[in-house]
Amino acid sequence: DQQVKQNSPSLSVQEGRISILNCDYTNSMFDYFLWYKKYPAEGPTFLISISSIKDKNEDGRFTVFLNKSAKHLSLHIVPSQPGDSAVYFCAASAGYGGSQGNLIFGKGTKLSVKP
């Protein structure tokens, strides 16, 4: 059973507009959430994270929102750029670090930003 779900396999957005990538989770013990970006033929790279004590974290064009009651998080990219075109993975962990801290990944959402 999937604990981290990205229900949209793909998303297409016009350059300059907002991209919103969604992620749902089922395990209420998750307390740390991350987004990774992956280009073809490369490994995923860390993008942004949020701990469960916060509901928003912002880093430049990227903002992650966490709604604990809904067990939902989202990544907002504003404005979207063609270089943002990649697969985005949502990940979560419970008690981050050590034997309790394995990340559970969603299946990914492929974002295409069109010029």
Partner 1 sequence: DVKVTQSSRYLVKRTGEKVFLECVQDMDHENMFWYRQDPGLGLRLIYFSYDVKMKEKGDIPEGYSVSREKKERFSLILESASTNQTSMYLCASSSIPSGYTFGSGTRLTVV
Question: For binding to partner 1 (CB under 8 A), which residues are involved?
Answer: 6, 9, 34, 36, 38, 41-46, 49, 89, 91, 96-99, 101-103, 105-108
Which of 62/96 has CB closer to partner 1? Answer: 96
Q: For residue 9, what are its two tokens? A: 């396999």
Which of 30/89 has CB closer to partner 1? Answer: 89
Q: Report phi then psi at 84, rounded to 5.
A: -80, -10
Q: Measured in whole angstroms, how far is the alpha carbon of residue 11 from the centre of its chain?
A: 13
**Alpha carbons 8 and 87: distance in angstroms, whole number:** 11
Cβ 45 to partner 1 shortest distance, Å: 7
Cβ 69 to partner 1 shortest distance, Å: 25
Strand, coil or helix: 53? coil
